[in-house]
């Protein structure tokens, strides 16, 4: 083989570079400080958690995408005591290694639905895994709300879950949170969860004060499910004074009579019976379905659902309208132009998880 001629002094040649970039490394670098703040740092957890996040990013069973919530904690007895009406199903036990987290996901993820979440208990020499749930009705506060949203440092807990189709959030009882994006682009703008929260506040703006919190929680759970689904959506809130649908929102499926969520919540709070609970859960599924269809879902500020699959025509002339964005974004732009007049607020969620809100939050 002929030796390569040496290049003259000063001349540069780009040698082929072979670099390996791993998202696993990025996650591993971000986690130690986070775990330390949450009081759950050790090397086994760090390694296992990094691998869990990567596994969860696109977890499928039988081709079906799954979005389980995973809790990690040390003191299961105290944790369960803070969760009224809770249940725990132990599934397995394994060494304190990343493989155990993987096995836990494999065995538990298909079961983690209808209110069940995966838990991983850090024991002295092992990881125990299984499922837990809590609450009595569709209105009961969830394990994530009690352990993380209103968590306490004295009960160190981590929650790993999808906040949108391409985003996983690791949050702790100490209030720290780490967001990991797996999408094609890093999402700009406000946190989609906060955006959805603002929209939910707008939906319940005129709900009687005594029911506002519960109806707001109901919608918040519906929207957090929609955020994870990977389907974009458009929704608006009509002012309560609007008894009939404004003309521009009549090209769709009008629900008559409107779905009165506040009445259903009130019925459950008063009766606390199985029938009211089933009705409310079934209604949540219905609204999730509506939000997953094309077009705009129309709510009113008294918490009711008025229409879905509504198509709107942009008030702008075709020439003036920007070519930027798809049909959904352009429709959102049209909706924004009506905020303050016929409508109280508008919500946009793109397929890649970007969310926007326009209007008054309360």
| Choices 61-69, 77-85, 111-119, 286-294 (CB under 8 A): range interacting with another protein | 77-85
Based on CB atoms, which residue is closest to another protein, 51 or 214? 214
Among 94, 149, 230, 325, binds another protein (CB under 8 A): 149
Q: Binding of another protein at residue 146 (CB under 8 A)?
A: yes
# binding residues, another protein (CB under 8 A): 28
| Choices 8-16, 130-138, 196-204, 349-357 (CB under 8 A): range interacting with another protein | 130-138
Among 253, 254, 263, 269, binds another protein (CB under 8 A): 269
List, as own/partner pairs, every contact residues 181-184 make where C-beta atoms lie below 8 angstroms and the sequence separation is at least 24, other chains included: 182/23, 182/57, 182/58, 183/352, 183/353, 184/352
| Choices 146-154, 197-205, 248-256, 337-345 (CB under 8 A): range interacting with another protein | 146-154
Distance CA 31, CA 34 (A): 5
Q: Binding of another protein at residue 316 (CB under 8 A)?
A: no
Torsion angle of the four alpha carbons 191, 336, 341, 217, in this order, in degrees rounded to the nearest 10: -30
Q: Binding of another protein at residue 150 (CB under 8 A)?
A: yes
Among 152, 190, 275, 316, binds another protein (CB under 8 A): 152
| 69 touches 147 (CB < 8 A) | no
Task: Pick the closest to residue 34 from 20, 50, 10 (CA basis).
Answer: 50
Strands 253-260 and 233-238: unpaired
End-to-end CA distance of the chain: 77
Based on CB atoms, which residue is closest to another protein, 176 or 309? 176
Measured in degrees and rounded to the nearest 5, phi and psi for residue 309 equal: 55, 35
| Choices 84-92, 182-190, 239-247, 307-315 (CB under 8 A): range interacting with another protein | 84-92
Place of tokens 């009711």: 304
Q: Binding of another protein at residue 7 (CB under 8 A)?
A: no
Distance CA 136, CA 101 (A): 29
Contacts with 113 (C-beta within 8 Å, 6 or more apart), sequence order = 68
Contact pattern from residue 202 through residue 241 relative to another protein, giving x for each residue in contact according to CB under 8 A and a dash for the rest: -------xx--xx--xx-----------------------
Task: Pick the closest to residue 295 from 283, 284, 308, 306 (CA basis).
Answer: 308
* Residues engaged in binding another protein (CB under 8 A): 78, 81-82, 84-86, 135-137, 139-141, 145-146, 149-150, 152, 154-155, 209-210, 213-214, 217-218, 269-270, 272
């Amino acid at each position: 083989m002929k030796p390569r001629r040496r290049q003259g002094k000063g001349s540069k040649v780009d040698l082929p570079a072979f670099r390996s970039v791993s998202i696993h490394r990025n996650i591993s670098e971000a986690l130690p400080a986070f775990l330390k703040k949450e009081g759950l740092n050790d090397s086994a957890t760090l390694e296992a958690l990094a691998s869990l996040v990567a596994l969860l990013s696109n977890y499928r069973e039988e081709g079906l995408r799954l979005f389980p919530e995973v809790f990690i904690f040390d003191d299961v007895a105290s944790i369960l005591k803070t969760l009224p009406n809770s249940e725990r199903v132990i599934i397995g036990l394994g060494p304190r290694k990343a493989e155990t987290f993987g096995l836990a996901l494999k065995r538990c993820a298909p079961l983690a639905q209808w209110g069940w979440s995966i838990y991983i208990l850090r024991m002295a020499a092992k990881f125990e895994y299984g499922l837990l749930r809590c609450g009595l009705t569709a209105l009961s506060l969830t394990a994530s709300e009690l352990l993380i949203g209103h968590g306490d440092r004295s009960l160190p807990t981590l929650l790993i879950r999808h906040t949108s189709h391409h985003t996983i959030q690791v949050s702790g009882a100490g209030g720290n949170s780490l967001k990991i994006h797996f999408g094609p682009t890093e999402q700009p703008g406000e946190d989609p969860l906060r955006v959805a929260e603002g929209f939910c506040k707008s939906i319940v703006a005129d709900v009687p004060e005594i029911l506002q919190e519960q109806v707001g929680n109901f919608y918040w759970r519906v929207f957090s499910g929609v955020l994870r689904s990977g389907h974009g959506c458009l929704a608006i809130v009509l002012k309560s004074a609007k008894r009939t649908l404004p003309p521009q929102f009549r090209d769709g499926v009008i629900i008559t009579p409107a779905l009165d969520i506040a009445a259903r919540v009130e019925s459950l709070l008063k009766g606390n019976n199985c029938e009211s609970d089933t009705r409310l859960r079934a209604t949540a599924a219905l609204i999730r379905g509506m939000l997953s269809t094309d077009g705009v879902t129309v709510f009113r500020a008294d918490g009711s659902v008025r229409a879905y699959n509504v198509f709107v025509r942009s008030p702008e002339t075709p020439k003036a309208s920007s070519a930027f964005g798809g049909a959904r974004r352009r429709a959102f732009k049209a909706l924004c132009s009506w905020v303050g007049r016929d409508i109280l607020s508008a919500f946009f969620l793109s397929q890649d998880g970007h969310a926007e809100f326009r209007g008054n939050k309360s």
